[in-house]
Amino acid sequence: MTSTHQKHVVVVGAGNAGLCAALSAAENGATVTLLERAPVARRGGNTAFTAGAMRVAYKDEQDILSLVPDLSAEQLAVTDFGSYDESQFFDDLARVTRYRADPELAQTLVSGSLGTLKWMRGLGVRFVPIYGRQAYQIEGRYKFWGGLTLEAVGGGPGLVDFLARAADKAGITTRFGARAIALRTGASGVTGVLIRSGWQEETIGCDAVVLAAGGFQANTEWRTRYLGPGWDLAKVRGSSYNTGDGIRIALEIGASPAGNWSGCHAVQWDLNAPEFGDLTVGDGFQKHSYPLGIVVNALGKRFLDEGADFRNYTYAMYGRRVLEQPDQVAWQIFDAKVEPLLREEYRIRQVTRSSGSSLAELAGKLDGIDASAFVAEVEAYNAAVDQSVPFDPNVKDGRAARGLAVPKSNWANTLDTPPFQAFAVTCGLTYTFGGLRIDNSAQVLDTDLDPIPGLYAAGELVGGLFYFNYPGGSGLTNGAVFGRIAGAGAAS
């Protein structure tokens, strides 16, 4: 008579990727222990600091309704969701990563996106359209742009809450304050995890491990070693616990590193934000309405094309550009014409803002800027704006400012209507792009490119998908898709 052995899976990290892995493993019959280095009050990893947007391939409004079935007839009547099919998602991912993204991982992400969000909805996650941030109301109708349409209700903290409730309901054991410090191996591959709670160490034996502990962005030494000089000066947008533990313990047993180790997701972030993320503010320190204005450095000069593409395709690389400027500071400049279109993060209490009734008055309030050069730069920019082209923030409108050292390709509006406002920004590092090499089943490969038995990985500690940049909202989707695959693989 044979007895069936119930698999024991340990998941390291309780953000979106780890929670999805744990839920998938439990759904596939495993007993699951979920390890979270943070205390319960700071649970959720980087996920808790996001706005909860998830990029998903969809054919039409019916696909959107499968995820948000409670949309009213009135909402549907004034909304153009358009379509964003798998080929568009794949092409966007390939284009912004300069065609370096692993095509098989990319295809797995893209083709699994809709099914995974439906699976998450079945677990209790609720989604809503991102009105306001991804669709401007023009002539009474909302038109979604940039391939980003849905977010979790309650943003990143809401997503964590939904998944954590589902994990509790599924009988998953979550241990907080439990830091994974080494993997145990034997003849059959990975056999357990050495953890530290306080300074007490213990080994948890298991049949398989899923690593989902995030990147190394909160490790000042690692990010300076791998990203390069100056990155020790960047702010960290999210969790202070993402110091590369999951990557390190896998490399120590021979896992293969992969991906863009000198690259990262970094945005324009409030100059006076704290060193690490603040859960009470979340992603409110970000400043993502820059396509509507201009960005200048301490020399008073523009240094990037604010209208090169939709915000979704430029914001993750423009933090690096700010870090390269004198004193790692820049100012986003707007006038009264576009002020109503600025995102909600420009209106929070914790914002570094100056205003003036003239450009000269504004310049006098910006510490460290070359005031006369700034005024001259704005005047030259204003003169270059092609005002014959109508402004439309819902499309790449071709309203450009050309003939400048740095052109602006779309959404170029003259800065001529007071009051003028400036928002001081620096670089906010979201997560690092270098990590572990996995195959399509989310199994970690060793340096001989063979699968390591019993070891899987998902989320921000996986390398090979994002290079230089990423399409907005694809990080959470990546964690969920590969977390689901990793959990199922570990349970089998």
Residue whose C-alpha is closest to residue 254's, from 395, 451, 57, 434: 451
- For residue 320, what pLDDT is reported? 97
Q: Is 39 exposed, middle or buried (0-12, 13-18, 19+ CB in 10 A)?
A: exposed
Encode burial over 163-173: b for 16+ CB neighbours within 10 A, e otherwise.
bbebbeeeebe
C-beta of residue 253 within 8 angstroms of C-beta of residue 303: no
Q: Are 354 and 368 in contact (CB under 8 A)?
A: no
Provide the whole-model pTM.
0.93
* Spatial distance between the Cα atoms of 158 and 306, rounded to a whole number of angstroms: 31
Residue 367: the pLDDT is: 96
- Fold observed for domain 8-214+434-491: FAD/NAD(P)-binding domain (3.50.50)
How many other C-beta atoms are found inside a 10 Å radius of the C-beta of residue 1? 2
- Exposed / middle / buried, residue 18 (Cβ in 10 Å: 0-12, 13-18, 19+): buried
Position 2 scores a pLDDT of: 46
Taking phi first (over 0 means left), then psi (-120 to 50 degrees means alpha), and beta for anything else, what does residue 152 get? Answer: beta
Whole-number pLDDT of residue 144: 87
In the chain, list all ranges with CATH 3.90.700.10. Answer: 266-427
Sign of torsion over alpha carbons 335, 309, 217, 342: positive
The parts of the chain modelled with pLDDT lower than 70 are 1-3
Assign domain 266-427 to its CATH architecture.
Answer: Alpha-Beta Complex (3.90)
Q: What values do phi and psi take at 192, rounded to 5?
A: 175, 180
Asked if the bond preceding 419 is cis, omega within 30° of 0, the reply is yes
* pLDDT computed for residue 1 by the predictor: 45
Question: According to CATH, where is 3.50.50.60 located in the chain?
Answer: 8-214+434-491
Tens digit of each residue's pLDDT (9 = 90 or more) over 92-135: 999 999 999 999 999 999 999 999 999 999 999 999 999 877 88
